[in-house]
A and B are shown apart, each in its own frame.
Chain A
Amino acid sequence: MHPFSYEKVTNEHEALERARLGKATFVAGGTTLVDLMKLNVEVPTALVDINGLPLNQIEDRSDGSIRIGALVRNGDLAHDSRIQSRYRVLSQAILAGASAQLRNMATTGGNLMQRTRCYYFRDPVYPCNKRQPGAGCAAMDGYNRIHAILGASDTCIATHPSDMAVALVALDASVHIRAANGERVVPIMEFHLLPGDTPDRETVIRPGELITYVTLPSGPFGPRSAYVKLRDRASYEFALASAAVALQLEGTTVRSARVALGGVATKPWRALEAEQVLTGAAANKATFLNAADAALTGAVPRRHNAYKIELAKRAVVRALADALTH
């Protein structure tokens, strides 16, 4: 680990001021950042501890939406009764991630900034375009069973690791970002970037900007949503494939639907093709199979990860069946 300075701030203004100095990084739960600093993958010269900011509330808004402070811990969010009843998929997704100890530390904002588990990104010996633009990608021809089949580019095939963000994509959340010159609100679909030619740029966040809130719109889905995560072991493990879905029914017909995929794409992946198949169709297994096929039509397998196509389809079918029967 390289030396760094550490400072605790107590308000947003101070946080934004400090963040402008040198190679500063905000730290909240630290559950990803500290790991990566130990591996010399992240080498900030200054840590600005934002745990003292008043951003740890979950609030009902008058328009029926819910506003989640960026410092709300994953554990608190998942166990909040409003989230459990109205946004079941989000609660399930969070609880499918990491371990109880990590969820008690990890924050809403930090989870959105989580970085990939690609072996080659996390080991500075290998070339990695995400870590060092232009260095090359060791995963492309390397062992890539955990890598992406959707959204990859010629420079990067690393998957986005978050479970929470997949549910947020399915729920059409918005991310509130504070900069020195004001606030902007970004739809979650636009928050994470495809790798393209700049895999080092993972989100729309610019240096010195701070995530303050995530808002969940009042959706028509009620409790009819579900998250299914398939992984190598039962806990403390990233998805090989996951699906976050939500259904709005009219009798036995799907009126509207949301489908998002995790573990298989370079960013939390909204499967609009699958939603189109579902919308207006009978809510049954045959439809779900068609939707799963549609979700993966654009998938491009690499040498070791072709199995993920089938695995992801099955996650979608399982999640839809679960949402339907709930």
Chain B
Amino acid sequence: MPSRSVGRSVVRKEGRGKVTGAARYIDDLTFPGLIHARTIRSTIPAGEIVDVAFGFDTSGFTLVDYRDIPGRNIVALIDDDQPCLAERLVRHVAEPILLLAHADREALLAADVRIRYREAVPTYDATTSPIAFKTIAIDKGRIDQGFREADVIVEGEYRTGHQEQLYIEPNGVIAVPEHGGVTVYGSMQCPYYVHRALKVLLDLPDDKVRVVQTETGGGFGGKEEYPSMIAGHAALVAIKAQRPVKLVYDRVEDMLATTKRHPAVIRHRTGVKRDGTLTAIDIDAVIDGGAYATLSAVVLSRGVIHATGPYRCDHIRIRGRATMTNTPPNGAFRGFGAPQTQFAAEVHMDRIAEALGIDPVRIREINALRPGDRTATGQRLGRDCSALAVLRETVKRTDFKRKWRAYARLKASRCLKASRYKEGGSRGIGLSLFFHGAGFTGGGEVKLASKASLALTDRGARILVASTEIGQGTRTMHAQIVADTLGVPYDCVDVNAADTGQVPDSGPTVASRTCMVVGRILQRCAEDMRERLGRLTPREYLKRHGPLVITREYERPTDMAWDDNSYRGDAYGTYGWACDVAEIEVDRETWEVKPIAFTTVHEIGKAIHPVLALGQIEGGSAQGLGYALLEEVVMRDGRMANAQLTNYIIPTTLDTPPIDVVILENPYKHGPFGAKGVGEMPIDGPAPAAINALRNAGFDLREIPATPERVMVSEKQEPRHALHA
């Protein structure tokens, strides 16, 4: 019996290639006869195209517009509202209109295309936009009764901005025309999303489109839906030119044109008893979808389902709206709606505690979801509900209560001394409790019907899944699950490239589903394979019986049910639970905010690979601190005005405090070895923890990022949010 690999930090499958530089990313690849493509984009936020003029000799160029599209001019996803190339109407700046290609990059860049427009009046305010892509209502109990039972009602409005994914490698693809169809190689999360989008765009059957993921330098959701667009563009040019085409964005184009996190405005009205028990939660959430629907409907869905935070309450009303504005479409980004809504919920929770005069830990202890409790959608939580466990562990580990009281006392004594410049540092400590559903929302996994295959090899097995390695450790973690289930050493399990010509559709690599959902399907493949092998070694089996490939499909746990119309039922297979504590120092003379300590306790079922899990949690926490304190997308007339790394800033090592990560394991009965998802959850908590810490230090913010000018203004505000019922 080989030693188990699950729970051990084995060498990652693609680690050697990445560290030695042998790994080849899309821009490292070339093909004979390859030409380069460039996208001509709208320079206005709304209007109509009047005419297009070419200020250069077009001979030697391949020119593509919407008339060259053999199939439907859409980026097939959910609503099919987004054209691959604009025809007449333009709905946002940087909307693709034309494609140019040439063998010589200099000639391509020098080509001057002039487009005249008839401009229309753009819409920028998501809260007043008349067009909604999606509205969702969640109702539990009777909200009126909940407010009648309340002693105190607390209201608040919270705002979050755009956030750029900022993967290291920008979006890029190569399209190769072959066999009467097209093969697309590229940096992506979801090869089968691209496959489907290309079939619809090019009017080609399944077997004429092949999509191959190349080594991918990060995604964070930013390569969930956008690769379908860029792959469509490259494929159109390749088919017209009948030559391989490379289309790789530089950083500026990537930031200007591709999706970002949805900005949100979230209002809370909460009824609470004097003893701290929540009686009514009323939430109104608006997210800015940008110009086309993309994934806004499902981002909203995850957002509203997580909007209460991990708390129990009998009377809940949530109204969510994703609206249209004339800005580049927003889309998937780690957390997918939950960071916005849980920011609001957790900052609001501290205000509720303050209104009642109880501490932030007590209010959460009273209301945290426990096993057997029902969520806003009525989902009954199993024994793996760990909200109280993560809260208590974090509080104990950080000495939270003592510090919180001490800093609050200092704040109060300082307020008595009025001087022009308040000297010295102020410290604050803040807490956030949060949860994150793993896998697709509601009936999503059933609709996806993901498949995974395992092929027997001489020495073990080969994994065939469409799940992509984008830096998070997919190949390694899947191989560990298969190795231990099959009873072979980790090194004897290979992982096939995510190539739609070779692997089944395992669904997209998103939604913290790759371990819990796809990993479980693979585990079932391995269980079946082990049974088929009996006492034979793989080599003996192959010799005696010939090749063996086992394919299994997602099976919904029998105890799960969801109704998409009423938004009732089991929204997710299960949830991960986490608690963050941020300790910050504010220089009271200069308003510099410095996080000095960060502790996070994550309950994730089972850490298949502890170092990779830790990496996800540290990385997500740092990204969350950037969201809280630094990252600001400046929109000017519908266009990102700071689309450069010199002006859109993310945390450096110096801005990131030491991160103390604790992993708790409370196994999920339907996860492989008990594992839940971990990829997204870490980004839900840092922003509210940091803002709550600022509040503890005397700075009252309701909006992120907490830039110096916002911190400066926040010091003067007196809290005024409690209305007595």
Contacts and interface: CB of A to CB of B under 8 A. Distances in A.
Interface string B681-708: 0000000000000000000000000011
A233 B43 CA distance: 32
Nearest to B656: A234
B708 A311 contact: yes
Contact of B708 (A123, A234, A307, A318): A307
Interface of A: 1-3, 35, 38-39, 99, 117, 119-120, 122-123, 125-126, 138, 142-143, 145-146, 228, 230, 232-238, 240, 289, 304, 307, 310-311, 314-315, 317-318
9 contacts: A2-B110, A119-B647, A125-B639, A228-B590, A230-B591, A232-B708, A234-B652, A234-B655, A235-B655
Given A143-B634, A234-B655, A39 B644 contact: yes
B399 interface: no
Given A230-B708, A232-B630, A232-B707, A120 B590 contact: no
Given A230-B590, A307-B708, A318-B590, A142 B252 contact: no
B708 A117 contact: no
Given A145-B707, A145-B709, 9 more contacts: A2-B110, A122-B646, A123-B641, A123-B644, A230-B708, A233-B654, A234-B594, A234-B655, A315-B590
A268 B185 CA distance: 50
A311 B590 contact: yes
A237 B649 contact: yes
A39 B647 contact: no
Contacts of B647: 117, 119, 122, 146
Given A123-B641, A143-B636, A233 B630 contact: yes
The interface centre, meaning the residue of B43, B634, B639, B713 with most chain A CB atoms within 10 A of its CB, is: B634
B652 to A, nearest CB: 5
Contacts, number: 84
A46 to B, nearest CB: 16
B641 A314 contact: no
Contacts of A235: 652-655
A290 B720 CA distance: 35
Task: Say whether chain B's binding surface is mostly helix, strand, loop, or mixed.
Answer: loop
Instruction: Tell which of A1, A38, A119 has the most Cβ of chain B within 10 Å.
Output: A119
B293 to A, nearest CB: 26
Contacts of A120: 641
A307 B43 contact: no
A19 B644 CA distance: 30
Contacts of B54: none
Contact of A317 (B43, B589, B708, B709): B589
B712 interface: yes
Contacts of A122: 644, 646-647
B28 interface: no
A120 B634 CA distance: 12
B106 interface: yes
Nearest to A146: B647
A234 B654 CA distance: 6
Contacts of A317: 421, 589
A157 to B, nearest CB: 14
A299 to B, nearest CB: 15
Nearest to A40: B109
A232 B649 contact: yes
A324 to B, nearest CB: 14
A1 B713 CA distance: 42
B166 to A, nearest CB: 14
Interface in B645-687: 646-647, 649, 651-655
A7 to B, nearest CB: 20
A178 B123 CA distance: 55
B420 A230 contact: no
Nearest to A124: B252
Interface in B129-145: none
B250 interface: yes
Contacts of B630: 232-233
A142 B649 CA distance: 19
B125 interface: no
Contacts of A236: 652
Given A119-B634, A119-B647, A233-B649, A307 B641 contact: no
A300 B77 CA distance: 50
B126 interface: no
Shortest 3 CB-CB contacts between residues of A and residues of B: A234-B654, A307-B709, A235-B654
Interface in B56-114: 106, 109-110
Nearest to B251: A38
A230 B587 CA distance: 11
B421 A314 contact: yes
A289 B420 contact: yes
A232 B634 CA distance: 15
A82 to B, nearest CB: 28
Contact of A119 (B109, B592, B642, B713): B642
B525 interface: no
B643 interface: yes
B456 to A, nearest CB: 49
A293 to B, nearest CB: 10
Contacts of B646: 35, 117, 122, 238
B347 to A, nearest CB: 21
A317 B106 CA distance: 52
B641 A39 contact: no
Contact of A143 (B641, B707, B709): B641
Contact of B591 (A237, A238, A311): A311
B594 A125 contact: no
Contacts of B591: 230, 311
A120 B109 CA distance: 21
Contacts of A38: 250
B589 A318 contact: yes
Nearest to B637: A142
Contacts of A304: 709
A235 B592 CA distance: 13
A314 B708 contact: no
B717 to A, nearest CB: 15
A119 B652 contact: no
Contacts of A240: 708
Contacts of B642: 119
Nearest to B642: A119
Contacts of B590: 228, 230, 311, 314-315, 318
B654 A310 contact: no
Contact of A125 (B43, B109, B649, B652): B43
A123 B589 contact: no
Nearest to A35: B646
Interface string B9-26: 000000000000000000
B721 to A, nearest CB: 24
B263 to A, nearest CB: 15
A60 B9 CA distance: 57
A234 B595 CA distance: 11
A311 B711 CA distance: 12
Contacts of B654: 233-235
A289 B653 CA distance: 34
Nearest to A304: B709
A145 B710 CA distance: 12
A318 B708 CA distance: 16
A301 to B, nearest CB: 11
A120 B641 CA distance: 7
A41 B592 CA distance: 32
Nearest to A122: B644
B652 A233 contact: yes
Contacts of A310: 712
A3 B106 contact: yes
Contacts of A315: 590
A20 to B, nearest CB: 26
A164 B642 CA distance: 25
Nearest to A161: B646
B636 A142 contact: yes
Nearest to B635: A143
Contacts of A3: 106
Given A39-B252, A235-B652, A314 B589 contact: yes
B365 to A, nearest CB: 35
